[in-house]
Amino acid sequence: MRVMVTGGAGYIGSVVTEELLKGGDEAVVYDSLYKGHREAVVEGATFVKGDLLDTAFLRDTLVKHRIEAVVHMAADSLVGESVKEPAKYFRNNVLGGLSLLDAMREAKVSSLVFSSTAAVYGEPAKQPIEESDPTEPTNPYGETKLAFERALRWYEGAYGVRFVSLRYFNAAGATERCGERHHPETHLIPLVLQAAAGERPDITVFGEDYATPDGTCVRDYIHVVDLAQAHVLALHALAKGHPSAIYNLGCGGEGYSVKQVIDCARRVTQRDIPVRVGARRPGDPAVLIASSSRIMRELGWRPQQQQLEAIVASAWRWMQRPRA
């Protein structure tokens, strides 16, 4: 299948591209490089530099490369920033997404896999979270992802676009070639590993007075390769006529607390990691655990690397890789 990956020069997008190529699909990466990195575009993929808001260029790209399906990952994704700059998030995540849907209609491409987020649930009333639970985002980031999911429903009825929306929990880890490199970095695992590598003096734990076993927030970490494989499964299911669907993507179980992540990183790296305890980060729910039984049941998805050690070790290997 010929697939266009928007945001394919980003962390998760590059791993999705890798998995597509590994499985014999062809990939065209469409990325503005405003956050992505040119060198993250996987060898073997065609790279097109373009803006999501440029509907005509998107349409021409879809037609020129005879694209059959799209994975849409290009988005702004920082919760804190979204609260300060909602206009940026509504423009890039909602308007940008609608521009893509217009281009797809014009080019007659009707399959889409969308990267959504656990942030659509807001402060969940129960764990694990199921797809049918209430969606009440507590920040513009989650709101814009939910808005696009809702648009997809209406576009399906009117224009026949079929989609799978994947609500990611905490993506982490790396492959040999692709890993996490955000500027600024805000995610726990890369920050903890930077502290282990001496690239930052310490890691600040954002609150240790939550109603969790050790007082720190609990999250559902999922290996980026397991996450990427779900996109490939979804694309192939859509090609075979699978109806539109929304799926959570996490490993479930008990999850891991911030302190457990730091202890795990100490074991993996064999380094000292100085810790400071700071205030809670506004908007952080105490616990976020996915029920992913729907995607397991309907698409046969099975995470292969559920152990936090394996996830952290892969990220550490990537950080320590020899660089040119």
- Residues annotated as catalytic (active site), given as ranges: 141
290 binds ligand UFG (CB under 6 A): no
Show the binding pattern over residues 56-85: x = contacts ligand UFG (CB under 6 A), - = does not: ---------------------x-x------
Among residues 284, 294, 299, 305, the one that binds ligand UFG under rule CB under 6 A: 284
191 binds ligand UFG (CB under 6 A): yes
What b-and-e string marks burial along 190-224, b requiring 16 or more CB atoms within 10 Å of the CB? bbbbbbbeeeeeebebbbbebebeebbbbbbbbbb
Nearest to ligand UFG of 6, 61 (CB atom): 6
Show the binding pattern over residues 255-274: x = contacts ligand UFG (CB under 6 A), - = does not: ---x----------------
Angle between helices 96-107 and 140-159 (to 10 degrees): 20
Give CA–CA dist 271/249, Å, rounded. Answer: 31
Give CA–CA dist 68/238, Å, rounded. Answer: 11
204 binds ligand UFG (CB under 6 A): yes
Interacting positions 138-157 with ligand UFG (CB under 6 A): 141
Which phi and psi (to 5°) does residue 150 adopt? -65, -40
**What beta strand segments (E) does 57-182 contain?**
69-72, 111-117, 162-168, 170-172
Among residues 188, 195, 230, 290, the one that binds ligand UFG under rule CB under 6 A: 188
Amino acid identity for residue 41 in this structure: V
Q: How far is CA 57 from CA 50, 99, 272, in A?
A: 7, 10, 50
Among residues 25, 206, 236, 306, the one that binds ligand UFG under rule CB under 6 A: 206
194 binds ligand UFG (CB under 6 A): no
Nearest to ligand UFG of 81, 156 (CB atom): 81
DSSP string, 204-237: EEE-S-SSSTTSS-EE-EEEHHHHHHHHHHHHHH
193 binds ligand UFG (CB under 6 A): no
Place of tokens 């993507």: 249
Segment contacting ligand UFG by CB under 6 A, of 38-46, 51-59, 99-107, 197-205: 197-205
Residue 136: count other Cβ atoms within 10 Å of its Cβ: 14
Nearest to ligand UFG of 232, 288 (CB atom): 288
Sites of contact with ligand UFG (CB under 6 A):
77, 79, 117-119, 141, 170, 186-188, 191, 203-206, 217, 219, 258, 281, 284, 288
